[in-house]
A and B are shown apart, each in its own frame.
Chain A
Amino acid sequence: MAKEALSKGTIYLLLTLGAVFMVLPFLWMISSSLKSPNEVMAMPPVWIPSQLNWDNYSEALRIAPFDKYFINSVIVTVLSTIGELLTTILAAYAFARIYFYGREIVFAVLLGTMMVPSEVLLIPNFVTLSNLGWIDSYKALIIPWTASVFAIFLLRQFFFGVPKELSYAAKVDGCSEFRFLWYVMVPLAKPALITIALLKVINSWNAFLWPLIVTNSQEMRTLPVGLSAFTTEAGIKYELLMAASSMVVLPMLILFFIMQKYIVAGVARTGLKG
C-alpha cells in the first residue's frame, strides 16, 4: 500500500511539474498582454501587471484587422472540416464496404502518399493552384485540405469493425446503401468522426505555412498568418503582440475545454498528438 501511494504521489508530482511547464508560457502571454509597455520589458520580470491594460487588445485590433483574420480562419476551418468529413465518410465506406476492381491497390497507393512529407508537396500544389488561378482565394485555402488519407484510413478501420449483418439487416429492411451509410454507419462512427473533426479543426486553425504561401492580400489572411505579419507591423510592441496571440489561442482553448473528453479519447485512439 505504502509503496503504491508513494509511486502515485511521484506520478502526480511529475504530472503537476509537467503541467506547470506547459501552462507557464500561456500565463506569461496573457499576463504580458495586459501590461504596460514598461512592464513588458521590466527586469526582473513582472508577473502580475500593476494595472490591467485592456486597451492593448483594442489597439492590436486597430493596427491589424484581426476580426477579418478571425472570420477567415473560421470560414477556412469550418469548410475544410466539413469537406474533409464528407470525403472521408464516402471514401472510407467505399474502401470498407463496396467491392470494386483494384480496390486494395488504390487504397495502398493512397496510403503510400502518406509517406510523402507535406513540405515536398508545397511547391507542386502551389504551382497547380496558381495555374488554376486560385491563389489568394478561399478556394486555395480550403479545397486542398478537404481530403485526408489518414482520416480515411481511420474511418475505414472503424467501418470494418461494424458487423456485416447490420448492412444485410438494413438491406432486407429496404434501406439503400446510401441511406444505410448516413442513417446507420455515420451515427455509429460518431466517436471516430468527432476525433477526425477535432484533429482537423486544430490543424486547420493553426495552419501557417500553406495560408502564408497562397495568400497575398491582407483580406485573405488567416489568424496565424495575420499574427506573423503583425510581428512586423507592431514592431517591438510586445504587449500588443501578446494581446493578439491571446486572441488567436483563445478559441482553441475554449474548444479544448468543451471537447476535452473527446480529444483525449481521440488522441488515445489514433496514437497521435493533436
Chain B
Amino acid sequence: MDIRLNQLTMQFEEMTAVDRMTTTINNGELVSLLGPSGCGKSTTLMLLSGLYKPTSGEIFFGDKNVTRLDAEKRKIGMVFQNYALYPHLSVLKNIMFPLRMQKVPKKEARERAIEMAALVRIDHLLKRKPAQLSGGQQQRVAIARALVKKPKLLLLDEPLSNLDARLRLEMREEIRRIQQEVGITAVFVTHDQEEALSISDRVMLMNAGSIQQDSTPQQMYKKPVNEFVASFLGNPPINLMTVERMEARQYKLENSAQMVLLPERLNHERVRVGVRPEDLYLTDKDSGLLSGKVLHIETIGRDTMIRLKIGNTSVRALVDPKHQLQTGDICTLGADRDNIHYFDCDTGERVNVEKEAQGDADTADVEEYA
C-alpha cells in the first residue's frame, strides 16, 4: 500500500507545524523523517496516524482517501517515544491489548501475541510488568504491540531516543530487521541524522514544517539541495563560506583578502561554497582550493582534524594523520570538484554545475538548477 500526502498542512492557532507537504511513501519502504526539534516531524506522524486531523490537504492509503478517517480505522501501528505501554498490564497483556480491542478471541490473541513476542525476542519476559523491563525491552514490547494487529503502516516517533548509545545502535538494526521481516511500510521519526541515514531507504529532511529534501541517504549527503540540508547533515559540520568573483575562477573570500580558487566557472558573482571536512585533503599550492594557517589539531578516531584560519572564517578538515602538521603551519587544502557544493547567497538553493563539468569548460556557460 503506497501512502500519498497531498499538500498536507497542519496549523495550530498561529503556528504552521506542517506546511503543504506532498510526497509518496512506497509500499514496504522505511522512510525517515529527519529534522531539528520543532520542525513538525511528530505532527506529521500524528497526521498519518489520524490522531490529528489536518487543517487542509489529503492523505491517501493506496487509493483510499483517509484524511478524515479516525486512527482506529486506519490499520496502523504506532510506537511512541516514551513507549506508552500500559503500566498495569503484563507484557503479554500489553501485546494482546490491540487484538482484544478488535474482539479477537482470547486464545487466538494469546497465540498471535506470543508469536509476535518471539519475533521481537522478548518471549521470555511475557509475565513481567513494563516497569520491570529495561528500556530496550520496553521498546521491543512497544514494537510488538504495534505490529501484532498486522497493520498496513508502522509509525515510530523517536523510538530510540531514550536508549543509551550502544543499545540505540543495536535497536536500530533490530527495527530494520523486523521491518524487513514483516515487510511493512514504516515511517521513522528521528532528529539523529546518523540514525536516519543508516536505517532508511529514504530520508525526508524537514525544516519549519516543510520537506527540504526527499531522497536516498547517499543522495542527500552527496547532493544537498540547499544550504540547510548541507549544514544539517554531517559531523563535523560542512564548511560554508561566501566568496566573490575577482576574475574567471578566482574568487575572494568575503570580507578578507584571501583568495579561493574554484574548479568551475560560475554565473554567480557571489556564491556560498560548501565543502565537507572529510572531502578536504592536503595538497600543493597550485591545485589547491584555499590555504591558511593551522590553528588547532586534534585526533578524532583514526583521523586528524585540523582547523585552519582563512581570513575571518575557520575551516575544518579531516586529514590523513601521516602528515606531520604543527599549529602555525601554513597549508593548502584541495577538494574534488564533485565534492564542492555551491549555494545561492540569497535563496540558499543549490547551484548545479554538473552539466557544465561534462561539456567544454570554456565555451559552455553554467547551467543552473534550483
A interface residues, Cβ below 8 angstroms from B: 163, 165-166, 168-175, 179, 184, 187-188, 190
Contacts and interface: CB of A to CB of B under 8 A. Distances in A.
A171 B84 contact: no
A169 B78 contact: yes
A166 to B, nearest CB: 5
B71 A171 contact: yes
B187 to A, nearest CB: 14
Contacts of B77: 172
B14 to A, nearest CB: 19
Interface residues of B, number: 23
**Majority secondary structure of chain A interface residues (helix, strand, loop or mixed):** helix
B153 to A, nearest CB: 11
B182 interface: no
A192 to B, nearest CB: 13
Given A179-B101, A188-B88, A173 B82 contact: no
Contacts of A187: 88
Interface in B42-86: 46, 49, 51, 70-72, 76-78, 80-82, 84, 86
Given A173-B145, A175-B101, 7 more contacts: A169-B86, A170-B86, A172-B146, A173-B149, A174-B72, A174-B102, A175-B97
B101 A166 contact: no
B87 interface: yes
Q: Which of B49, B81, B97, B145 has the most CB of A within 10 A?
A: B97
Given A163-B82, A165-B80, A165-B82, A171 B87 contact: no
B51 to A, nearest CB: 5
Nearest to B80: A165
B277 interface: no
30 contacts: A165-B80, A165-B82, A165-B84, A166-B84, A166-B86, A168-B46, A168-B78, A168-B80, A169-B78, A169-B86, A169-B145, A170-B86, A171-B70, A171-B71, A172-B51, A172-B72, A172-B77, A172-B78, A172-B98, A172-B146, A173-B72, A173-B149, A174-B101, A174-B149, A175-B72, A175-B101, A184-B86, A184-B88, A187-B88, A188-B88
